[in-house]
Structure 1
Amino acid sequence: MLPLLKRTLPAAAASLMLATSPAVLAEQTQDTESLNFIWIVADDLGYGDTGFNGSTEIPTPNMDRIADAGVAMTTAYVSAPVSGPSRAGFHTGRYQHRWGYEGNVGPQDPDLRGTPTDILMIQEYLKTRGYHTGLVGKFHDGKGEHFQPYNRGFDEYFGFNNGASAYWMQTNRNNLIYRNDQPVDGEPEYLTDAFGREAVDFIKRNHDKPFFLEVSFNAPHAPMTAPDDYMEKFDHLGNRQTLAAMISNMDDNIGRILDKLEKKGIADKTMIVLFSDNGGKWEHGGTNGPLRGEKGGTFEGAIRVPFTASLSGVIPAGTRSDTMISALDLFPTTVKLAGGEIDPEWNLDGKDILPVLSGETTESPHDRLFWRYSDSWALREGEWKLVQHRREEAGLYNLAEDIGEENNLINEFPEKTRQMRQTWQEISEEVGAAAWGRFRGRTDRQMREG
C-alpha cells in the first residue's frame, strides 16, 4: 500500500498547531487516513465579488463558510488572465508557457493545441496514489481526443471542454455536455445546479475512499443568465443583477457540497480550496474591488483572484494572509498533503504553500511571479510590479503602497525598471515561445515608455 498522510484528530491537531510545523504535525499523530481534496473553481469571479473579500452587494455565505473555517488569501494569483492557460497552469503546477500555451486554444490544430500528455496533471498524479478522481464542470484544454478529461486522469467526468457553455441545455444539440466519453441527451436543470447535483452525487458515492474532486463552475462567465427566483433577489442592482444572481446560485450549490461533506462525516478530512480562474469582467457586471483592470490584461484585476482554503486541524480557522501565492502552488501542496514527494524532473514552478496556509510563515515561497499574454506582460518581484498592459504606457508600481496601480514610478526608479525588464525577458526566454496566436514563435514583447 502507498504511504498515507498521518493526521491527528481535529481537536488534538488544533492544539498541536500552536507548537509545531505542519511537517512535524504530520509525523506526530496517532491516526492514519487519507485526505480528500476538493478544488472549487469559479469562472470570471471578480476579486471584489465575494463576502470574504468584502462584498456587501452579493451575499456569499457558503464561500464565506470556507474562509471562516480556514484562511482567506488576499494576494493570490493565477498564471494567466484568461481561462485556458490559467487552468493549464494550475492543473500542472508549471507556467503553461513552457509548452507554448499562452492563449486559449481555439478550434484550430485540435490535435496540437493543448497540454501535452507527457506533462503531468494533478489528477493523473493522485491516481498513482490510489485516489478516485472526478471533474464536474468546465475543463477548457485541447480539442483532440487525447486532451479530453477522460483521457487525462479523471475517473469520472460530467461537463464540457470549451471556453463557455449555455446554461440551459435541454437538448445538448451541439454535443457540448459529456458524461465521461459520451454526450448526454440533454440537461433539464440550470447548468450550475446540475454541476452542484453531480458534485454532491460524487461525494455520496465515493465518501468511503480517498478522492480528488474538481468542481469547475462556469459561473459567472457569459452567457449571462440565471433562474428567475435568483434574478428577483437582485432586481435592485441594475447592470449587476444577472451576475449577482449567477454568483448567488453558485454559492448555494457550494453550500450543497459543504453540507454533503458534513453529512457523510468527512468534512474534517477534506481539504477545500476555492478560487477563480481569472479576474472579473466589467462588461458583465463584475468588480475587482480595489484592483485596477479586468480579465484579459495584466493589471491586478485580471490576475489577482479571490482564494480561500480550509483543512481542519491544519489551517487555522478565520484567518487572513497577505502573503503572495500562486494557483501554481496547488499542485505541489496537494502532492505533499497526499503523502508524496516532488520529483525534480517535473520542473515545477509552483511551491508547497502549506506553511503559508497554516500560518507557520508569512514569507512568500516566490521571489517573483511572471505573466505573458499576447501584447501584455508583467513581473511581480516582492512588492514591486512592472507591467505592460496592451498599448498603454508601461508602469512600475509598489503594490504595498498602491494596490490600485495608480502611481506610476517608472521615471523615479529607472534602475529598478531596467532590472525587472531584464529579469522578465530572461524568464520569458527560459519558459519558451508561444506555440500559437499572434506572437507564435516569439518570447519578446514590446515595452512602451512615455
Structure 2
Amino acid sequence: MEGNLTKGPILKTLTKLAIPIMASSFLGTLYNITDMAWIGLLGSKAVAGIGVGGMFIWLSQGFASMARMGGQVQVAQCVGRGDKKKAHGYAQAAVQLAAIMGILYAIVALIFTKQMIRFFKLEDPEAYASAFIYTKIACGLIVFSFLSVTLTGIYTAQGDSKTPFYANLIGLATNMILDPLLILGPGPLPKLGAAGGAIATVTAQFIVMSIMILGIVKQKKENVLKGISVFEKIPAEYLRGICKIGIPTALQGMAYCVISMVITRMVSAFGAEAIATQRVGGQIESISWNTADGFATALNAFIAQNYGAGEMGRVKKGYRASQWTVGIWGLFITVLFVCVPRPIANIFFHEPKAIATAIDYLIIVGFSEAFLCIETTTVGALSGLGKTHLCSVISIIFTSARIPLAIILGGTSLGLNGIWWALSSTSIVKGVLFVIVFQWVTRTKKQVTA
C-alpha cells in the first residue's frame, strides 16, 4: 500500500500524512473565499443570494460524507489488518454509492430549486435571482464534488495524501482564473455574476475528480481503487459496513446544516447584510475549521489503521500530538479574529453597515476557534475508532441547542450579536465535551483489548 501508518515515528508519520491534507483543506477554503471575494464586488445582495445557495451545497456534503467516511474508515481498518481484498471491495462500494447519491441529490435540487430557496424568505429580487441560478448550477452538477471527496477519503485511508493535494491545487488554480473572468466578464466576456461563480466552482470540482481518477490509472504502486467498476452491483456486506460508519456522520452533517439554515432564517430578519455576514463569516472562519478538518482526516486514517492493527498506544499518542497542533492553530485564529477583524471584513464587504456587522461576527466567534479545532479533530479520531454514532448524538444535541439559545439571546438587547454568541458558546462546550468523551472511550478500549 501507499503508506503503512502502523509503523514508524508517530509524529513524523502523522505529520507527513496530515500536511498535504491540511493544505488541501486550506485550498478548499480558498475555493469559497475566492468566490466570495469576487462576488463581493457585486454587492451584499449578490453575496446573500449565493450564501443561501451555498447552504444547499453544504447540505449535500452531509450526504456525501456517508460514502466518504464509511469508505475511508473501513478501507483504513482493512489496510491495518492486511486484508487487501476487503479494502478493494469497500473502496468500490464507496465510489458507487457516492455516484448514486450525487446524481439523486442533483435531480431533487433541480426539481425543487424554488421551494428550497423560498424557505429563506429572500425579499430582495437580486438576492433571490442570485440564489436561484447559483443553486441550479452548483447543485445540478454536484456529483463531481461527491466523487472528489470520496476518492480523497480512500486515497487518505491508504496513506496517500499527496495525490488529492495536487488535484486540489490544480482545481484551485482553475477556480481562481475562471472566477474574475466569469463573474465580472472583463473586456468582451459576458458578465455572468452568480452563475459565473457556480460554473467556475463546478469546473474546478470536475478537474479535481478527473485528476484523482487519472492518478488511479497512472500509479504503478498498488492502490485499492485499481480495477473498480461503477456499474457492478454493490455487495450487501460492503454496503452495510459503509452505512454503519457513514450514516451517523451523514446525519450529523445534515443536521448541522439544517440547524444553520434555521438560524439563517432568523438572521434574515436583520437584513441582507446580516445574511451576507453569516455566509462570508462562515467562509472566513473555515480557515480554522477546514484546516482542523484536514488534520482530522489524517488522524482518522492513522487511528483507523492502528486500531485495526491493535495498536492502541499509537492511537493515544497520535491523538495527543494532533490536539497540540490544531489547538495552537486555533489560538492563532482567535487572536487574528479578535484583534484585527476590520482588515479581514474590508476584503469582502464595501458597505459600512455590512463591515460593522462582519466585525462583530468575527470578534464573537473568534473566542471559540481553538475549541472548534479541537472538536473537529476529536470527531475525526473517534470516527477512526468506529464511534461515528457517538459523535453524531453529541454533535446533534449540542448544535441543536443553538436554536433556542439564538431565540433567547437574539431577543435581548444583544440583537443579532446574540445569535453570534449562540454559535460561539455552543462550540466552546462541544470542544470540551468531545475531549472528555475521547478519553473515556480510549480507556474502555484498553480494558476490552487487554
Same-fold call, TM cutoff 0.5:
no
Which has a greater percent of strand?
Answer: 1
- State the TM-score, normalizing by the size of structure 2: 0.29
